[in-house]
Structure 1
Amino acid sequence: MIRDAAREFTMKEVLPVANALDGPDAEIPMSLRDKMAEMGYFGITIPEEYGGLGLGIFEYCLICEQLSRGWMSVASIVARAQGGWIMKSMPEEMRREYLPRVVRGEFLNASALSEPDTGSDLASISCRAELDGDEWVLTGNKYWCTFADGADYLIVFARTSAPPSPDKRWEGISCFMIEKQRGGFPPGMTGSPIPKIGYFGWKTFELALDGVRVPKRNLMGPEGKAFLLMAKGLEGARAHTAARAIGLAQGALEDAVAYSLERRQFGMPIAEYQAIRFKIATMATEIEAARQLLYFVCNEIDSGRRCDKEASMVKYFASEMAERVTSQALQIFGGAGYTKLFPVERYWRDARLTKIFEGTSEIQQRIIANSLLGKSEVEGMIAGRAFGGQVRQSKEAA
């Protein structure tokens, strides 16, 4: 019932908006966001005592798969709620203050983790935070911060102390909540949109922080331990990305099936030709395989069992599958698929991104391999070199 309701909402409310607006200057309409709030989609995993639905990662991914079948950006804005950072790190009085606003879609976040020179190696961030009386002062640059302008608050990772050793480079990184007005940036921060080939509906920014002041109470979690705070949410985040990839692939498959039954060549629908039939059979099989792996991972997460390896597997498998399936769907459309006349090109563009964000396919393979084989000596060498670079930077800064 949850899945079917989400599909009905997507086909009626999300897909028409995506087909009409998708493009570099598109913005997810506030009217659509209000309808999503009415459906409870901003509070799927927030406990009922705060106004949420009190459901698990399984239901969260069921819904987000369907939303992605319409527009991946809509399934992604759902993740800007759920109270993730607040529920992980804030005291009860702050949860009661903020979470009901999250559920209503009135307090959505954007996360600033990556930097111009730091992507997968987040332990090497250089953005700094220094305590000045009752405020933290943040200085540095951030990259790939989607929804930075439209969010109600930013989550910024910054280094508050030097790491103690190469194998503990993650220590000394802290997490800060910066409240702001929608449509702009807080004092001391500027943002420049990054031109993208997809993931439309909102903008992605490079941010410059020059003395951004944050109240002391807005330090989220223990000082210097934010990397662990982030790592605890990776399983759910990667399952969410897999769900989005599956939704894109499902949309491409359904559209390709419909088109193949309508498009006639040499006197018959192209669905009659074995080449097309086999493409569709393979596409459907790969989607279902990814979906069943996702269900397993979601069940493990909701049961409280560790599944970092399996979460990486489903994120890797589903995103790679989505690129293949959407590409094959575009091929079935032929020249029509390479136009803006059909949404298959949107599924194709957005599917390509799922192989990059929330950890690239190569990072997922590294995690899986390390789980099976242990960490390689090369990783230790890389960590040592990065640590040495940080020491040099710290000395130069001093």
Structure 2
Amino acid sequence: MPDRAPQPVDRQLPTEEARDLISLVRDIAQQEIVPRAAEEEDAGRFPRELFTLLSRSGLLGLPYDSEHGGGDQPYEVYLQVLEELAAARLTVGLGVSVHSLASYALAAYGTKEQQVEHLPAMLGGGMLGAYCLSEPHSGSDAAALRTKAVRDGDAWVITGTKAWITHGGIADFYTVMARTGEEGPRGITAFLVPGDAPGLSAAPPEKKMGMKGSPTAQVHFDGVRVLDDRRIGEEGQGLAIALTALESGRLGIAACAIGLAQAALDEALSYATERRQFGKPIADFQGLRFMLADMATQIEAGRALYLAAARLRDAGRPFARQAAMAKLHCTDTAMRVTTDAVQILGGYGYTADFPAERYMREAKVLQIVEGTNQIQRMVIARHLVGPEGR
């Protein structure tokens, strides 16, 4: 059966403009995303035309400056937009989050000339981005990456392979971290690589448990040549840029996780009030009512956590610890809530006729991407008690 339209969440938005923005997002979700979500996910179809619509609607550059085509929205608002999109279809919400992550390096560390040249197309010109940090042998250990960029006159030649790249093979630009110097974290530099650069290719998409409509693939760089004016930041600054971007990106994943969890709760609530057993709706049974209460409480707590971190970011205050906490709690919540939703639907929850089983499969990846939840615990602990091996 087709997905249900997300139930409106009572949001505390700071401005009338933000309220209008959320209203626009809900209209797009109900008219353009939800009706095709189940069919396209089942077919493994990426909705590229939908991302073109989101770009034209100003939704791909929300947290960036309007001077360069962005939406001038605080993270507090941007993340709630992501939640709405993810509740309609995780492939879309996560895709917008990844695009924002890929745009961050240039927006935060690029020169004025680079920003003027590239950001308008990246943020509002229909382009789609990808973020290239992980490699086949280096996931959590990002500083061990092996992709190399060698200086050749006024250009760099990039050689290597990136792995687990969302939008790999379909992106219009790739923000790439490559080794330009010594081993370790200080020898990595960031580059903005065009998606059609000669020597750039992608492997067939990975066959995944969930999110089949979102292509994830290895991306190969076989002597890809980029001019030095596409280097972002200073030489050797790349890992710092990458990790700073991930602090904000983790908030995007947290918001997407809460959107997915909310969709699962809505499905479970609808089923529980309609399904009758022993002469009454199953929502009348105390054991099931307690499950629903726990699901709703976990979602509300996660929403409050990611919004609190976003407000710190908007205020220019440190937020890395809170971002890690939000990513950890919200993605664990998504896994628990979607699992409980399948249980509430019983045998129907285990079939593809209802979206609950898809939600459960999709939730798992959120505990892995942009730093596994084990890495988040390490980040939180470092903020609490200092680095390991003192």
CA deviation after TM superposition for structure 1 residue 105, in Å? 4.4
Amino acid at match of 1:45: P
Q: TM-score, normalised by structure 1?
A: 0.89
Where does structure 1 differ by over 4 angstroms across 4 or more consecutive aligned residues?
none
**Alignment partner for residue 88 of structure 1, among 108, 131, 139?**
108
**Cα 1:197/1:105, change in 2 over 3 Å:** farther
> Partners of 2:36 and 2:348 in 1: how far apart?
21
Counterpart residue number, 1:211:
223
**Cα 1:361/1:216, change in 2 over 3 Å:** same
Counterpart residue number, 2:13:
none
Counterpart residue number, 2:31:
12
Is the partner of 1:55 in helix, strand or coil? coil
Is the partner of 2:298 in helix, strand or coil? helix
**Cα 1:344/1:190, change in 2 over 3 Å:** closer
Contact between 1:80 and 1:108, CA under 8 Å: does it hold in 2? no
| Aligned residue runs from structure 1 range 371-386, under 5 A | 371-377=383-389
Is the partner of 2:306 in helix, strand or coil? helix
> Partners of 2:388 and 2:199 in 1: how far apart?
44
Counterpart residue number, 2:286:
274
Amino acid at match of 2:45: A
Counterpart residue number, 1:151:
171
1:87-145 Cα distance to aligned partner (Å, 9 max, x none): 12222222122222123342221111111110011011111111112221112221101
**Alignment partner for residue 111 of structure 1, among 131, 143, 147?**
131
The answer to whether 1:192 aligns with 2:204 is yes
**Alignment partner for residue 65 of structure 1, among 68, 83, 86?**
83
**Alignment partner for residue 269 of structure 2, among 248, 257, 266?**
257
Q: What value does the CA root-mean-square deviation take over the aligned residues?
A: 1.7
Deviates more, 1:170-179 or 1:209-218: 209-218
The answer to whether 1:365 aligns with 2:383 is no
Counterpart residue number, 2:185:
170
Contact between 1:81 and 1:105, CA under 8 Å: does it hold in 2? no
Is the partner of 2:226 in helix, strand or coil? strand
CA deviation after TM superposition for structure 1 residue 350, in Å? 1.4
Contact between 1:323 and 1:351, CA under 8 Å: does it hold in 2? yes
Is the partner of 2:186 in helix, strand or coil? coil
Contact between 1:189 and 1:212, CA under 8 Å: does it hold in 2? no
Contact between 1:65 and 1:244, CA under 8 Å: does it hold in 2? yes
Q: Give the number of equivalent residue pairs.
A: 369
CA deviation after TM superposition for structure 1 residue 190, in Å? 4.4
Q: TM-score, normalised by structure 2?
A: 0.90
Is the partner of 1:332 in helix, strand or coil? helix
Amino acid at match of 1:172: G
| Aligned residue runs from structure 1 range 210-359, under 5 A | 210-359=222-371
The answer to whether 1:26 aligns with 2:57 is no
1:246-294 Cα distance to aligned partner (Å, 9 max, x none): 0000000011100111111122111111111111011000100111111
**Cα 1:43/1:144, change in 2 over 3 Å:** same
Contact between 2:122 and 2:129, CA under 8 Å: does it hold in 1? no
**Cα 1:290/1:190, change in 2 over 3 Å:** closer
Give ranges in structure 1 of 5+ residues lacking alignment: 164-168, 381-398
Deviates more, 1:60-69 or 1:335-344: 335-344
**Cα 1:338/1:238, change in 2 over 3 Å:** same
CA deviation after TM superposition for structure 1 residue 180, in Å? 2.5
1:43-72 Cα distance to aligned partner (Å, 9 max, x none): 201212223211111111010001000111
> Partners of 1:13 and 1:94 in 2: how far apart?
34
The answer to whether 1:45 aligns with 2:50 is no
The answer to whether 1:127 aligns with 2:139 is no
The answer to whether 1:180 aligns with 2:195 is yes
Is the partner of 2:203 in helix, strand or coil? strand
The answer to whether 1:142 aligns with 2:154 is no
Amino acid at match of 2:324: S
Contact between 1:109 and 1:151, CA under 8 Å: does it hold in 2? yes
